[in-house]
Structure 1
Amino acid sequence: MDIITSKDNEVYKNLKKLKTKKYRDLEGMFLAEGRKFLEFKETPKIIIFKEGVSEEIIEMAKDHDCRKIILTEKLFKELTSQENSQGVIICYNSKINELENLEDNIVILNRVADPGNLGTIIRVADAAGFKDIILTKGSVDCYNDKTVRSSMGSILSMNISYIDENEVVEFLKEKGYKIVVTALEKDSVPYTKMKLKEKNAFVFGNEGEGVSQDIIKSSDEKVIIPIYGSAESLNVAMATGIILYDVRNRLENR
């Protein structure tokens, strides 16, 4: 196991660069932090330990056949994104996801901006049995450290792709998807009354602005989640969970 003590070490400098989206895109790699990621079967590219990390964590990493390095506490502190780190960071190859072989029910995220929201959506979509998420370009990077952390590992098993906003409707129509958007419009219906077809794309929008008007106008059905109390609205991740679990329930009972 290599021990890195200098900030001028090339491996260390390259790992630090992965904290930026530009370099993640360029290198096709991203960082995930925490012992939880050692429990997944996905093969890491590198496992990085903090000097003095517990033997339990080192033991957990033995099942992974990859390069392992130790950083001094000072260097690790510059790499971690957590205040109370568990002392292990995993470097993975990014998945090359394509807009082919999609399942019949998919999730579309239109300019979702908050990394924590995206991570939670990835997690809840995975839990509800959805495997495909398409984000319109301009949405937050799915490999942002907060997104990866909030996904609790689900990012490793999801098919996540990006597409230009002005192309998404044409793409969905071409592939035969019914477009269902969450939108507060005059003709919106409660989500419990939406009608599913054989192939459906469920669209959720930006935290402040919702789904873009161009997508709303091109949609096949608009749905809302009724508010019965005094809350103004629901968080986009929560709204996504409510609707996806309703869809899952319908699919299971067809």
Structure 2
Amino acid sequence: MSDMIVSAANPLVKRIRQLSSRKYRRREGVFLVEGAQPVWRAVEAGWAVETLVVAPDLLTGPVAGMVAEQEARGTRVARLSAELFTRLSDRDGPAGVAAVVRSRTTRLDDLAVRPGAVFAALHRVGNPGNLGTVVRTVDAVGGAGVVLVGETADPYAPAAVKASMGSLFAVDVARAPDAEAFLDWAKRNGVQVVAASGYADADHWRTAYRPPLAVLLGSEGDGLPDDLLDRADLRVRIPMTGTAESLNLAVAAGVMLYEARRHAPDLGG
């Protein structure tokens, strides 16, 4: 049984605070996961847990048993006071469990491209919450992975991890350094690129999708650049009949991913 940590000056507490920095996460190769379900999913998926961080007074139900089991297997467990854990948490009513987890790198060519595979590709997306929500949606539709094209938000940012609700541990997330690398990968693997654009002529639900495919969406403010739209296999739009000028990026991804799922027999569509 480790001693209770009550001071914000403790080295582990300082490390946890530093994990809000992308530069620090990249340098250390770790990130923070908070919440019973996400931490549990990380453990069950076999991701390397550096430290389980718990507040014993806040733990309830089976989570306490999971922590005890992991500690018995040799995982380091750090115990914080409820007051200190609550100060560190970004949630109302925290569950008293978090984890410092080793990050993973998935190469683009390591993504499994099967006949019915559906991917989400995000070009220069800057909002980590949107990114995490897309990862969660890809998981929900049984998708094959997410491709981050160019400079994007960090999938291990706290907001992205939180929005993914543990799906980050079930979905492969790969990086393409630029659009050229993404398009080359798609061509080599026979992946149809379906680009979303509010100016496209074709409605997304009247389009013949042909999995394997990648639903390609652009940044929140600018969308996809014209040269990338021109090189996509299909350009589709989501019809809007109200007064809204656009959809949230994660919502648009969900609409298109579920439509793509209907055309992928091995996903149950």
Query: Does TM, scored on the shorter chain, surpass 0.5?
Result: yes
Q: Aligned letter for 1:226? A: P
Q: Give 2:58's aligned residue.
A: 53
* 1:71 lines up with 2:80 in the alignment: yes
Distance 2:183 2:140 in 1: 26
CA distance in 2, matches of 1:239, 1:160: 19
Match of 2:194 in 1: 180
Structure 1 stretch displaced more, 202-211 or 41-50: 41-50
- With normalisation by structure 2, the TM-score equals 0.84
Measured after TM superposition, the shift of residue 198 of structure 1 is: 4.8
Instruction: For residue 142 of structure 1, report the CA deviation from its aligned partner.
Output: 0.6
1:158-173 equivalences in 2 (<5 Å): 158-167=171-180, 168-173=182-187
Contiguous gaps of at least 5 residues in structure 2: none
* Equivalent position SS for 1:155: helix
The TM-score with structure 1 as length reference comes to 0.89
Q: CA deviation at 1:76?
A: 2.7
Which amino acid is 2:57 matched to? G
Superposition deviation, residue 179 in structure 1: 1.5
Q: CA RMSD in A?
A: 2.2
Q: Deviations over 1:180-225 (max 9, x none)?
A: 100123x531112222335322101111211122211211110011
Moved more, 187-196 or 138-147: 187-196
Letter in 2 for 1:181: A
Q: Tell me if the contact between 1:38 and 1:61 (Cα under 8 Å) persists in the aligned partners.
A: no
Following superposition of structure 1 onto structure 2, how do residues 26-175 of structure 1 map, counting pairs within 5 Å?
A: 26-40=27-41, 41-43=44-46, 44-50=49-55, 52-56=57-61, 57-64=63-70, 65=73, 66-73=75-82, 75-102=84-111, 103=113, 104-167=117-180, 168-175=182-189
Letter in 2 for 1:59: G
Deviation at 1:82, TM superposition (A): 2.4
Matched residue type, 1:42: A
Report the Cα distance in structure 2 between the residues aligned to 1:164 and 1:212, rounded to whole angstroms: 16
Percent identity reads: 29
Aligned residue number for residue 236 of structure 1: 249
CA contact (8 A) 1:110 1:212 kept: no
